[in-house]
Amino acid sequence: MSDRYTENDVPNQTGKTVLITGANTGIGFEAARAFSAKGARVLLGCRDESRAVSAINAIKALTPEADLSWIALDLASLDSVAKAGQRVLEEPRLDLLINNAGVMVPPKTTTTDGFELQFGVNHLGHFALTAHLLPMLIRNEDARIVTVSSLAHKGGVIDYADLQAEVSYSRMKRYQMSKYANLLFTLGLHRRLVAANSPSIALACHPGGSNTELGRHLGPLKYLFLPLEFLMNSSAEGALPTLRAATDPDARGADYYGPAGFGEFSRSAKKVLMDERVYDPEAGDRLWEASEVLTGQRYHFD
């Protein structure tokens, strides 16, 4: 496939089941809509039932035969993550897990389990969810785990001395840290799948600059971005790297997809590069071990 990628390039998904976290809005919603249009059964992992139902109704208005189901999932609660995992394990199959949901630059907040919200939701919640679902995924030879990161990962640093921001809190630094963690997790999972001779693959993507609800906590800073809005991706365009990572037949484990336009900011989707620090296995292993301790989840590859 060329860099001129559109939804028309998504192969038929009939018979496949995909779980998308944060599927009621933004990029997650557009991915759910596109997968439904291609025949997949789509599980919408969302906190709020009314918003999930609204999303389901909106998709059904476009694709009346769409097969959609709400999965109650609050990534800020490990108990909710565990219950959602159990619910998904009741499905006959799971082909794709898209770790999409996220929060960006909120005021300092903690999750139910006491984690700083951005690190807790964007990374730890998805780390735990993937652990719950991995036994089901690896039974499927074509399974993919796609985690949505951000260009912001390039400035990310894992602050092991203050993981939960108890000493200091910078909204943007913690967002960058969580997005950097997403990619360390992806490559760590890739290495473990390879070591286990699993045919399942882990890969990642980023949406570039997308005008979505993710920026709702920017406050007055949002006005700095108004001159750039005409350059930004719509939510549908921002979902293209997700769709390509999840369905491109040429994709391989550890691949990373982003927009094909200048600076990976917008337009279409192509394979791109992560910050070179992400490729350090020692950095990945340190985060993996810390994540296992914090979430209480161990990965099983058999």
83, 52 in Cβ contact below 8 A? Answer: no
* Catalytic entry in 5, 160, 169, 175: 175
Residue 48 in tokens: 């709020």
First CA to last CA across the chain, in angstroms? 33
User: SS3 for 56?
Assistant: helix
Q: Which helix (DSSP H) or strand (DSSP E) does residue 5 occupy?
A: none
175 is catalytic: yes
Distances, alpha carbon 143 to alpha carbons 191, 203, 256, in Å: 16, 11, 16
Distances, alpha carbon 66 to alpha carbons 32, 36, 192, in Å: 10, 5, 35
201, 190 in Cβ contact below 8 A? Answer: yes
| Nearest CA-CA partner of 82 in 70, 91, 71, 95 | 71
Residue type present at position 67: D
Buried b (16+ CB within 10 A) or exposed e, 263-276: ebbbbbbbbbebee
Catalytically active residues, by annotation: 175
